Structure 1
Amino acid sequence: MRRDYTAREALLEPAMAADWTTQFAAWFIEASGFGLPEPNAMIVASATPSGHPSARTVLLKEYDARGFVFFTNYESRKGAELAANPHASLVFPWFPMQRQVIVLGTVERVTRAETEAYFASRPRGSQLGAWASPQSTVVPDREAVDAGLEAVRERFGDGPVPPPPHWGGLRVLPETVEFWQGRSNRLHDRLRYRRTGDDLWVLERLAP
């Protein structure tokens, strides 16, 4: 039976897990069971070194105590911005549940072995698309995109498709992970895990 989140239950400190990873896992399982179309969809915000921001939605592919991983073209806008200014914010917008998870952290590339392992699990069409698209660049029309895909199909034929050298994973290493629960009268619950040192975290409440 799907849980009713319209009651806006309280989010209180005694009910929170000892670490953000366990708490996120519990909320992610509930979001996955709620019937959201893409519970792993997250908004990734980046900025240039001069402070010009940009944001887009990507899919979370894995997470653990180290952080949150997604994959992209390193030459895309987000790839270039995160290489030049390796700080990001993530937002999981679970609006029907009146919940959000908000992450602030630094960014690093995953190992090439991790990228190759994930790339091998992708559908072949997605593998070819990673080669075909010069992501974030201006193209003349849709036909140019389709022509690029056809060229890649001819290049690889029926053989294996390796990950492009300019494509791979990024891991957001959290410095704060905030769990936001909607409440009535805009007096929402906001509980945040904040890193205070290596593997040391504090849980604190933020005013709504």
Structure 2
Amino acid sequence: MTVDPCLLTAWQVQSVLMCYPDESLVERIPLLRAATATLPSSVGGPLAAFLDHASAVPLLALAEEYVATFDHRRKFSPYLTYFAYGDTRKRGMALLRFKHAYRAAGLELDDSELPDHLAVVLEFAACGDPRTGVRLMVEHRAGLELMRIALTDSASPWRHVLESVSATLPPLGGHDREKLARLVAEGPPEEEVGLAPFAPPEYMPTGGTR
């Protein structure tokens, strides 16, 4: 599969910006700005807007905003399978599919990371197997769109990153629109059980924040 190098650049920048912000982000901002400037406006413009925000606020404030956004609100979850399955048996199996996809491409995740974190999937698409990375995102397109809408409604700076991600993917199809409508009305499935009993420990790493 031949992939436009601009897409690989976009996914790499998006991956960095979806991670917990730390000193390495501050150090990378000039490089990220340079990479963003090479992208089409629909993809690079939103990323530039996020970088403007990240440059204008103290790092501690940005980190606190990240935690308040992604660790405590269900519609903002950065874990793609959560939107489809909640914390149910089916989600455990979906996480295994992500792990197997990475392994088939010769990649192994650190056990501190869940494989469906959007930052992980974007990095995989950029540096691993673009075709499989896109497929994983498209399979969870409705959840990504719900996240984008929720972040936009709350005026979160991360709405810009999700807008950029969406611009690299196919438009929502009819089936995805139906799933999105259900998610908007009902939210992700209610938690039924913990994940640990339904998959081997090596596939259920602790941590949860990339």
Shorter-chain TM-score range:
under 0.3
Name the structure with the higher strand share. 1
Name the structure with the higher helix share. 2
Query: Which has the bigger relative contact order, CA under 8 A and spacing at least 6?
Result: 2
